[in-house]
Structure 1
C-alpha cells in the first residue's frame, strides 16, 4: 500500500470512528435503550468534562502546579458562593472579586 493510500485509509477510519457513535443515537433513536447503569453514569459526563477543562487551568500557573494561587482561591470562593446561595450571579461575582483582589494584593 502506498503512502497516499494509507493516508486516505486513515482519514476514512478516523471519520468513521467519530461519526458512527454520534450518528447511532440519531439513527437508532428509541429502538435501543442503554443499560440503566450506563444511563446513570452518563449523567456525570458534563460535570466530568467541565472539571477536566477547569481544574488544570486553576491548578497550573506558568506550567507548574501551584496549590496556593489566586485562581484556586477564586474557584473556592465561587464554589462556596454557589453552594451557599442559589443566585446564579453570585459565584461569578465572588470568584472575580477574590481573583482580582488577590492579584492586586500580590502584585500580579
Structure 2
C-alpha cells in the first residue's frame, strides 16, 4: 500500500503532537511546579526511577536483539553483577558501571 500524505497534513500532525506534548509536560511543571505536593505524593514519586529503569532494561537483558532474542550468558551475568553491586553499595552509578564492565569483559572473552 503506497499512501501519499500531503505536506500540510504532515506539518499539522507535527504541530498538534508538539502542542499536546508541551501541554502534558506543562501540566506537571508549570501548573504544579510552584505548589507544594502532599507528602504521600512526594513519597510515591521517589519510587519512579526505581520502577522505570528496570522496566527499560529488563527486555534488553531477557530478549536481547543482538542475540536474536535468545538468552545470553554475558548479559545475564552483567545483570546479576549490577543487581549485586547495587544491593551491596546502594550506588546506582556504581552498579551501572560494574554491570557495563562485566558485560564488556564477558563479550570480549567470548
What range is the shorter-chain TM-score in? 0.5 to 0.7
Deviates more, 1:90-99 or 1:17-26: 90-99
The whole-number CA distance in structure 1 between the counterparts of 2:38 and 2:8 is 37
Question: Where does residue 81 of structure 1 map in the other structure?
Answer: 85
Secondary structure at the aligned position of 1:30 is classed as: coil
Pairing partner for 1:96 from 94, 98, 101: 101
The whole-number CA distance in structure 1 between the counterparts of 2:88 and 2:101 is 17
Offset at residue 41 of structure 1 (A): 4.1
Deviations 1:17-58 (A, max 9, x none): 21111122343233585794x554433322233223322222
The whole-number CA distance in structure 2 between the counterparts of 1:34 and 1:82 is 30
Question: Where does residue 48 of structure 1 map in the other structure?
Answer: 51
Alignment coverage as a number of residue pairs: 102
Deviates more, 1:13-22 or 1:76-85: 76-85
Offset at residue 15 of structure 1 (A): 0.9
Contact 2:85 2:98 in 1 (8 A): no
**Residues 21 and 75 (structure 1 numbering): CA distance in 2 closer, same or farther, change over 3 Å?**
same
**Residues 99 and 4 (structure 1 numbering): CA distance in 2 closer, same or farther, change over 3 Å?**
closer
**Residues 9 and 34 (structure 1 numbering): CA distance in 2 closer, same or farther, change over 3 Å?**
farther
Q: Can you give the 5+ residue segments of structure 1 that lack an aligned partner in the other structure?
A: none
What's the C-alpha RMSD, in Å, of the aligned pairs? 3.6
Secondary structure at the aligned position of 1:65 is classed as: coil
Offset at residue 93 of structure 1 (A): 3.9
